[in-house]
Amino acid sequence: MNARLWTFAGRAYLAVILVFLYAPILVMAVMSFNASEFYQLPFRFSTQWYQALAGNGEILAASWRSVWIAALVSVIATALGSAASIALYRYAFYGKTILRLLLFPPIAIPWLITGTAMLIFFFGIGLDRGTPSVIIGHVALALPYVIIVVSARLTSFDHTLEEAARSLGASPWQVTRAVIIPWIAPGIIAGALFAFAVSFDQFVVSYFLSEPGDATLPVLIYTAIRKGFTPEINAISTIIIVFSMGIMLLVARFFAFGGKR
């Protein structure tokens, strides 16, 4: 086969993959603007389901809860994670490899296991289910991502900058504050947005840790789906997916996902 045809086949294949990845999301978004309650066609445009959302106190409360939990988780995870990344980068000490390896269990172990284990432990120490437990769990899930993202940025740090600052008489703390932190700022921003997204989209761990009364948005949606589909779920789901994709686009602005820039 000639090269032109191969290139065309490759592009066509890529297009098919993109359709596969985006079609269901687009269909869901379109259907959220359909007037029919049973997703019937022909399509009639209506914003009634979004209006219904505005009057649904339960969904509004859960949305607000999800957002502020994610913001708080992002602040805590970014502060702790950035500090840890700087230490892992700056200091040579015994056991560093193990510390790096310890970051992987929260990412690699299925959330079902982590979530149920957290439920058992938090219940056992008397913390019980509820928002505090959810926040503690989310921070733990977001921390490794922050450390990985900030560390990746740190590896591109130019040592001569630090040496220059040192030779000009800067103390280690001054070096950290005036040289290293400005350099890794994009990494810290990306890490913070990442942590926000991890918490905002987190379902499994929230599901085991939240109380029925104060569920986060994904937990509320899961409960609603199991009762039956309604266009209102479509509407809130569409808002969530647009919101979380928007955050990840922002992350991509600050942090190339391993791709070369």
Partner 1 sequence: MGATGKLARQDRLRAITLLSPAYLWLTVAVFLPLSAMVCFSFLSDVPFGGREWHLTLANYGAFFQTTTYAKLFWKSLELGFIVTLLCVVIGFPCALVLAKTIRGRAREALFLLVILPFWSNSLVRIFSWAILLRGNGVLDLAVNAVLPFDVRVNLMFSKTAIVIGLVHSYLPYVILTAYLALQAIDDSLIEAARSLGAKKHTILWRIILPLSVPGLTAGAVLVFVPVVGSFMEPRILGGRVGTYYGTVIEDQFVAVFNWPLGAALSFILLAVVLLILALASPVLKRVQT
The single residue among 139, 149, 175, 215 that binds partner 1, judged by CB under 8 A, is 139
The single residue among 114, 131, 199, 210 that binds partner 1, judged by CB under 8 A, is 114
The single residue among 19, 22, 37, 181 that binds partner 1, judged by CB under 8 A, is 22
Residue with tokens 């740190």: 154
The single residue among 187, 221, 232, 255 that binds partner 1, judged by CB under 8 A, is 221
- Residue 140 touches partner 1, criterion: CB under 8 A: yes
Contact 247, 193 (CB under 8 A): yes
Residue with tokens 């045809």: 5
Helices (H) and strands (E) in the chain, counts: 13, 0
- Residue 14 touches partner 1, criterion: CB under 8 A: yes
CA distance 253 to 249: 6
Q: State the CB neighbour count (10 A cutoff) for residue 13.
A: 10
The single residue among 172, 178, 181, 211 that binds partner 1, judged by CB under 8 A, is 172
- Residue 119 touches partner 1, criterion: CB under 8 A: yes
Nearer to partner 1, 2 or 160 (CB): 2
Residue with tokens 């560390």: 151
Strand partners, 192: none
- Residue 105 touches partner 1, criterion: CB under 8 A: yes
According to CB under 8 A, which residues from 50 to 79 bind partner 1?
79
**Min dist. Cβ of residue 21 to partner 1 (A):** 5
- Residue 152 touches partner 1, criterion: CB under 8 A: yes
Residue with tokens 């957290």: 118
According to CB under 8 A, which residues from 226 to 255 bind partner 1?
226, 229, 233-234, 237, 240-241, 244-245, 248-249, 251-252
According to CB under 8 A, which residues from 183 to 212 bind partner 1?
197, 200-201, 203-204, 207-208
The single residue among 47, 58, 109, 132 that binds partner 1, judged by CB under 8 A, is 109
Nearest alpha carbon to residue 147 among 194, 85, 238: 85
Nearest alpha carbon to residue 106 among 149, 80, 144, 69: 144
Contact 212, 6 (CB under 8 A): no
- Residue 7 touches partner 1, criterion: CB under 8 A: yes
Signed CA dihedral, 38, 51, 32, 236: sign only: negative
**Min dist. Cβ of residue 226 to partner 1 (A):** 7
Length reported for the chain: 261
